[in-house]
Structure 1
Amino acid sequence: MPFLATAICGASLSCSAVALAAGEGWRNPSLSPDERARLLDAELTLDERIGLLHGPMALSFPGGPPLPARSVGGAGFIPGVPRLGIPALTETDASLGITNPGEVRPGDTATALPASVALAASFNPKLAYEGGAIIAKEAAARGFNVLLAGGVNLARDPRNGRNFEYLGEDPWLAGTLAGESIKAIQDQNIISTVKHFSLNGQETGRFYANSIIQEAAHRESDLLAFQIAIEKGQPGSVMCAYNLVNGDYSCGNDHLLNGVLKGDWGYKGWVMSDWGAVHATDYALKGLDQQSGEQLDSQVWFGEPLKQAALAGTVPETRLSDMSRRILRSMFAAGLFDGKPVKPQIDPAAHAAVAKKVADEGIVLLANKGLLPLKGGAGKRIVVIGGHADAGVLSGAGSSQVTATGGNARVVPVGGDGPMAMWGRQIFHPSSPLKALRAVLPDATISFADGRYPAEAAAAAKAADIAIVFANQWMAEALDAYDLSLPQGQDEMIQAVAAANPNSIVVLQTGGPVLMPWLDKVGAVVAAWYSGQKGGESIADVLTGRVNPSGRLPVTFPASLDQYPRRDLPGWGLPKKQQFDVVYEEGADVGYRRFATLGMKPLFPFGHGLSYTTFAYDKLSVKGGDTLTVSFRVTNTGAVAGKDAPQVYLTGAGGVKLQRLIGFDKVDLKPGETRTVTLKADPRLLASFDEAGRQWRIAGGTYEVTVGPTAEKAALTGTAKISKRVMKP
């Protein structure tokens, strides 16, 4: 019958009509993804179903098999079922752009977006959507249909090597931005993941770290970030993590996968493993639906062992069908069956412009003694020091590493061994801050010093009117920072430069917070993060005022590592393969929340960021009821146009002092312009999680909010009465 249907399809009847006549009702696009998946799943043989539940990395390993047939070189591949027209799943890492690991696709480059922490610093959900959309289009142009994107783990420890891939320390900020990025990907008919579920809080011992946290605290922090991202973005898949959570591996965690994700939240998509995170076949019973990157596991648990378990009845037929049906459901929901364009045309210049917008709005002006913006250049002598700023801008390393359009400007080997050694190198995207500064300040004399010797750097600074020091903290997957100093003697070099010339500007290219023992000696500090393929131009534009900085810190910069709950990084120095506990005693008080609870003074607070103009807030209105609705005015009181990111915090609930971000916005104002901002709080941000009742509970009473430019500074304060209520988990 399929042959006959194919033959008839070329005649007067439509393909869908013929397919329906042939009994293939799953081809009917008017049916829901759930119903179509149910009908198609019923057609699968046992072997075909098993084939959808596991797959390899689409990479060639020395001495290993070649790339799978019909695959696209990249992170992963699930072969599909040609007999039924089920397309293969072709997967790529895509947190910051389309990756090309090990040059598996020779010469292929892609738009390199700034690090996710820079996106978070923009406080701009629209940019998150735009970035997700261009990544999805570039994926489709290469034949990929699954993006391993949507990193939403909270930055609980500033030393975490993957914090640059995530979206800061607050669940509302992280969940909102991740949700927008995921939505954009899914809107392009590409499946997105959200990852890494859950509490993947450090890279040290990531395969053996047992994250310990109370249920209520987990629900109010990391799980809430995931829940918000899933609700807003509707990702087709959730990727579980390497670590254990409260004693069970994330990918075999019945409570997390069956209880919370699929039970309480009603998630309809599928759970894929992280690459090398499966340890047993019974993970299928505990909520895992698909084994990814199977070469990295000790065996293909979801291949023949799962088939035999199904034949023996230890994995019920209904569960096996649920696994494949969830995958098919997400494929239907994303439009993978319905004739979408396979390879859209790409506008590289337009995509690069999006990368620049993210960098423009993500760069944070941390400190400024009136030195910035740099005005004019006639007769000025400027020296740019260090950071390989002559070549390009630094990027973070690991599976998210993008080979930017134009190729790598410079590669500096770091060394190391093990499976992540191929990423043990500092890669600089081809956007030179030195060249960009020369372009925007053509009348200045701009020289470069590499900064290797502090005394030489100081001499160069002394001979200049202005010194701009680029300081790098290279962060990477599978490798945490040992502490928060700038490595390789850069702190000493900055101190020497500042002593020689007080008109010194420090540009930080980091994956998160660093300490600044030289802060009071320099004229300005800029957090540029990893700024992507147009980062050099964005840095130059911010330094010269062509772009008014509007980034705000998505993570607290501490005054000392002692301000964090774990002074010594758990697992450091332990023998390989030894499990250890990471006790999250701070619970839901991540980052600024803990600083507020303990009354600690950070170096720079969450939400902090300066501008070349000034803003004022007034006309606060706070309305209660089932939740809080907060309205206020923002006015640009300065002389130049600028963007502000006003933040609304819950600071009191029924007489209990606390601090939670419950809303934010990004507004673009001309000098003297005023705009009214109205924000309605997600009720869960006003609630506590009741473990015994398995529900959210709002105590009710008088709730206090503040509006201000940072978590530490309140410009407006108001209260409203909130009704007592409970909500589903």
Structure 2
Amino acid sequence: MNRTLFLILAVSVFTGVMHAQSNAEMDKEIESILSKLTLKEKVAMCHAQSKFSTPGVERLGIPEVWMSDGPHGVRAEINWDDWGYAGWTNDSITAFPALTCLAATFNPELSGEYGFAVGEEARYRKKDVLLGPGVNIYRTPMNGRNFEYMGEDPFLASTMVVPYIQGVQKSGVAACVKHYALNNQEEWRGHINVKVSERALHEIYLPAFKAAVTKGRAWALMGAYNKYNEQHCCHNEILLNKILKTDWGFDGVVVSDWSGAHNTMESALYGLDMEMGTMTNGMTDSEEYAYNHYYLASPFYALLKEGKIDESVVDDKVKRILRLMLRTNMNPTRPAGNKNTKAHQDAARKIATDGIVLLKNTDSFFPIDPKTTMTIAVIGENATKSITIGGGSSELKAQYEISPLQGIKNRFKNATIIHAMGYASGPSAYGRVIPSKLDADSLFKAAVKAAASADMVLFIGGLNKNHHQDCEGGDRLTFGLQFGQEDLITEISKVNPNIGLVLVSGNAVAMPWLNKVKAVLQSWYLGSEAGNAIAEVISGDVNPSGKLPFTFPVKLVDNAAHHFGKLSYPGNNIDVVYEEGILVGYRWHDTKKIKPQFAFGYGLSYTGFDLNNIKTDKKTYSADDKIRVSCEVKNSGSRDGAEVIQVYIGKPGSEVTRALKELKGFKKVYVKAGKSEQVLVELNVNDLAYYNESAADWSLEKGNYIVYVGNASDNIAQKLKIKID
């Protein structure tokens, strides 16, 4: 179609979209467009035409919808009809830190900056839907995709996801929240049936999705691969029709995960709107157009023509799709977007430094004076390995990636820097493990020799985004560090005890080596600015302020999902049973009195903070009240820094099983050295309710509660008693 004709048709059909529309105006516009569509055109809009697009309606000027993977960056261009890369030269982008790092910032304002920056890049690349963010709950440290999510606590994830979504959608790009729901493992993800109590479902696994819909106003949502209640989540009567679209009033589009649809009738009736990635070979192996064989394609059309499915079903799907379009590619006033700007790079670096967590710092090992002339041995594959390219569908084609080694060299110009790999994991691969061809023994010996010749060691190891580590398509196989890292740390400690360890990972790991190193930084997957961010924290240019968004257990069996045996994780290939119920993460450790290696909410600083004058605004509250918790935060050290005030609530003597305490509020505050800041954290009393399975609704108990105020789930400065009338 020529551009002039397109514009004539677009203006004639889509009058009124030049300015922001009210819901009533948009609904009227949608009804007008719907009346002009044939049944075949409606059906065509409900399924893919390529790996990442759905068709428009050319005769009416309705555009295609284009999507891209990208919770932490916009993925490189994929071929029309297979998973190969298209080989473009202008699709390199800014790689932002993975969402575990964003969650570790405990900084909702930064989450909004993150979303806006990645939304601008998606818009510049002419994407209509960004497939992210992910908010599945961290249930087990073995889950290969934990690095894409926002931790173990539903309140933290709910708080952080809302500004991210709002930031993305400012650019006229739909955020597609995923993976709804209960996608908490990669093992058997395509068919495993999750058995979980309704209470745990509503209290732990759904709140972040609910916040994304009801507060973030997400325009799209992706179903999960797994089953719930014996139905696949991409067409699930309870999750999609009842909870999402009825109870929460979601007015956007439900997109299947790629090959997440399995049945025409269920896909039609149980909430799926757009079917993507169903396992056909598109146009490559068949004379017939294979996308027409999707469940919501020709089979759907046939059932509609036969009257076995009412046309109102497809009309509802198309209305949702048109609403998505009016918000994105049929809204000509949306901004043009940007990519690889200095603002984006600065945001990536700020998020990275704000999320790095200082776990251990014996003898003030960190920070290291950037003017030092010492010899520093930088040891570990992760010092130089590109991390942005792995991980499965979240892999990125970054315009640049500063390695930790490069960042350290750039900042410590007076020091003598030597590097030894020490170990090798092999090439990055999605869906398989490729062993390294390098000689492990030679790497090991060279690293020990380098350590012996240095004044100090920076060991930069951990996991990476290869298969069976932090990667889509497979869970981790071991809780410990692989490729001989644990033995290497032990041997290095014998020749040089002056070791600081930078742990690159999106997951907790076993730490049998913890007493052999002086300091530990949890650095996550930090994207384009990784090396600069790590160097800024190591040098003291930035005072670390990140807090763990999930618990590090000492042993794997200390994690609740693993306590109950294999049926609880990974299941029996048919079902997985969430025996721990609501006691996920720190809730389990607190309630069962199991000491973690490092607790949820934990993170050290180069300065000290004192929490004083902690109090609530009153002692008795009613259901609609806000609880206002105030405290004075004093920076008692010599460096400016930031602290996260965390407010947890517990209900002693509850009529139902409860965790000892649950996070219900937090506030990050920046305090200059020697100064104090007043902090106010507000909580909604109604957020103290539990999900009452017998009533299928939320119930708020009257009586006494305890307010716990501290800077980690296991470091409470004061307990306060309140009463709910």
Which of the five TM-score ranges fits, normalised by the shorter chain? 0.7 to 0.9
Q: Deviations over 1:221-249 (max 9, x none)?
A: 11112112222321111110000113211
Shift of 1:377: 4.1
The equivalent residue for 2:277 is 293
Alignment of 1:644 with 2:626, yes or no, is no
Change (3 A) 1:564 1:306: same
User: Which consecutive unaligned segments of at least 5 residues does structure 1 have?
Assistant: 59-75, 407-429, 724-729
TM-score normalised to structure 1 length: 0.87
Bigger Cα displacement from structure 2, 345-354 vs 652-661: 652-661
The equivalent residue for 2:418 is 447
CA distance in 1, matches of 2:686, 2:567: 31
Shift of 1:367: 0.3
Q: How does 1:154-233 map to 2 (within 5 A)?
A: 154-233=137-216
Q: How does 1:247-396 map to 2 (within 5 A)?
A: 247-282=230-265, 283-295=267-279, 299-332=293-326, 334-341=327-334, 343-346=336-339, 348-369=341-362, 370-390=364-384, 392=386, 396=390
Change (3 A) 1:536 1:296: farther
CA distance in 2, matches of 1:367, 1:537: 21
Shift of 1:394: 6.2
Q: Do 2:49 and 2:55's aligned partners in 1 also have CA atoms closer than 8 Å?
A: no
Shift of 1:378: 3.8
Change (3 A) 1:722 1:117: same
What is the aligned length?
669
Q: Deviations over 1:541-578 (max 9, x none)?
A: 1111111111100010000001123436669999xxx9
Q: Which amino acid aligns with 2:54?
A: I
Q: Do 1:151 and 1:165's aligned partners in 2 also have CA atoms closer than 8 Å?
A: yes
Change (3 A) 1:597 1:296: farther
Shift of 1:43: 2.4
Q: How does 1:19-58 map to 2 (within 5 A)?
A: 30-32=21-23, 33-58=26-51
Change (3 A) 1:331 1:677: farther
Shift of 1:48: 1.2
Alignment of 1:524 with 2:523, yes or no, is no
Name which of 133, 144, 166 aligns with 2:127. Answer: 144
Q: How does 1:561-572 map to 2 (within 5 A)?
A: 561-567=556-562
SS at match of 1:164: helix
Q: Which amino acid aligns with 2:622?
A: G
Q: Deviations over 1:472-496 (max 9, x none)?
A: 3121100110121111111111111
Q: Which amino acid aligns with 2:88?
A: P
CA distance in 2, matches of 1:28, 1:121: 38
Q: Which amino acid aligns with 2:303?
A: A
Q: Deviations over 1:189-217 (max 9, x none)?
A: 11111110000010011112111101111
CA distance in 2, matches of 1:652, 1:698: 11
Q: Which amino acid aligns with 2:643?
A: D
Q: How does 1:386-465 map to 2 (within 5 A)?
A: 386-390=380-384, 392=386, 396-406=390-400, 430-452=401-423, 453-465=443-455
Shift of 1:163: 0.3
Q: Do 1:241 and 1:250's aligned partners in 2 also have CA atoms closer than 8 Å?
A: yes
Q: Do 2:113 and 2:167's aligned partners in 1 also have CA atoms closer than 8 Å?
A: yes
Q: Do 1:55 and 1:78's aligned partners in 2 also have CA atoms closer than 8 Å?
A: yes
Q: Which amino acid aligns with 1:450?
A: M
Q: Which amino acid aligns with 2:299?
A: P
CA distance in 2, matches of 1:493, 1:126: 40
SS at match of 1:367: strand
Q: Which amino acid aligns with 1:443?
A: N
Shift of 1:447: 0.7
Shift of 1:671: 1.0
Q: Do 1:25 and 1:39's aligned partners in 2 also have CA atoms closer than 8 Å?
A: no
Q: Deviations over 1:276-295 (max 9, x none)?
A: 01111112111111211234
CA distance in 2, matches of 1:132, 1:182: 6
Q: Deviations over 1:648-707 (max 9, x none)?
A: 111235656621110112111111232222222244531111223221110121221111
Alignment of 1:586 with 2:583, yes or no, is no
Bigger Cα displacement from structure 2, 310-319 vs 501-510: 310-319
State the identity as a percent.
37
CA distance in 2, matches of 1:19, 1:286: 30
Q: Which amino acid aligns with 1:644?
A: E
CA distance in 2, matches of 1:471, 1:8: 55
SS at match of 1:103: coil
Q: Do 1:275 and 1:292's aligned partners in 2 also have CA atoms closer than 8 Å?
A: yes
Q: Which amino acid aligns with 1:168?
A: G
Q: Do 2:17 and 2:330's aligned partners in 1 also have CA atoms closer than 8 Å?
A: no
Alignment of 1:103 with 2:79, yes or no, is no
Shift of 1:112: 0.4
Alignment of 1:237 with 2:220, yes or no, is yes
CA distance in 2, matches of 1:335, 1:77: 14
Name which of 701, 705, 724 aligns with 1:699. Answer: 701
Change (3 A) 1:45 1:669: same
Change (3 A) 1:136 1:35: same
Name which of 101, 120, 124 aligns with 1:118. Answer: 101
Q: Deviations over 1:289-325 (max 9, x none)?
A: 1211234599400001111111122221112111111
Change (3 A) 1:52 1:376: closer
Bigger Cα displacement from structure 2, 706-715 vs 565-574: 565-574
Q: Do 1:275 and 1:296's aligned partners in 2 also have CA atoms closer than 8 Å?
A: no
CA distance in 2, matches of 1:565, 1:41: 50
CA distance in 1, matches of 2:251, 2:404: 46
Shift of 1:8: 12
SS at match of 2:27: helix
Q: Deviations over 1:590-642 (max 9, x none)?
A: 11111111111000000111100111112223243324332222221211101
SS at match of 1:714: strand
Change (3 A) 1:30 1:493: closer
Alignment of 1:659 with 2:642, yes or no, is no
User: Which consecutive unaligned segments of at least 5 residues does structure 2 have?
Assistant: 79-83, 282-289, 424-442, 465-469
Alignment of 1:615 with 2:591, yes or no, is no
The equivalent residue for 2:599 is 605
Bigger Cα displacement from structure 2, 254-263 vs 674-683: 674-683
CA distance in 2, matches of 1:19, 1:480: 49
Q: Which amino acid aligns with 2:640?
A: A
Q: Do 1:650 and 1:706's aligned partners in 2 also have CA atoms closer than 8 Å?
A: yes
The equivalent residue for 2:531 is 536
Bigger Cα displacement from structure 2, 708-717 vs 657-666: 657-666
Q: Do 1:570 and 1:580's aligned partners in 2 also have CA atoms closer than 8 Å?
A: no
Q: Do 1:276 and 1:294's aligned partners in 2 also have CA atoms closer than 8 Å?
A: yes
Q: Which amino acid aligns with 2:420?
A: A
CA distance in 2, matches of 1:205, 1:397: 17
The equivalent residue for 2:622 is 625
Q: Deviations over 1:385-416 (max 9, x none)?
A: 0124145556651001111113xxxxxxxxxx
Q: Which amino acid aligns with 1:80?
A: G
Q: Do 1:608 and 1:709's aligned partners in 2 also have CA atoms closer than 8 Å?
A: yes
SS at match of 1:137: helix
Shift of 1:532: 0.8
The equivalent residue for 1:476 is 471
Q: Do 1:204 and 1:572's aligned partners in 2 also have CA atoms closer than 8 Å?
A: no
Alignment of 1:80 with 2:82, yes or no, is no
CA distance in 2, matches of 1:19, 1:291: 26
Q: Do 1:454 and 1:492's aligned partners in 2 also have CA atoms closer than 8 Å?
A: no
Alignment of 1:690 with 2:666, yes or no, is no
CA distance in 1, matches of 2:371, 2:128: 49
Shift of 1:446: 1.1
CA distance in 2, matches of 1:171, 1:42: 42
Shift of 1:35: 3.3
Task: Please provide the CA RMSD for this pair.
Answer: 2.6
CA distance in 2, matches of 1:464, 1:391: 22
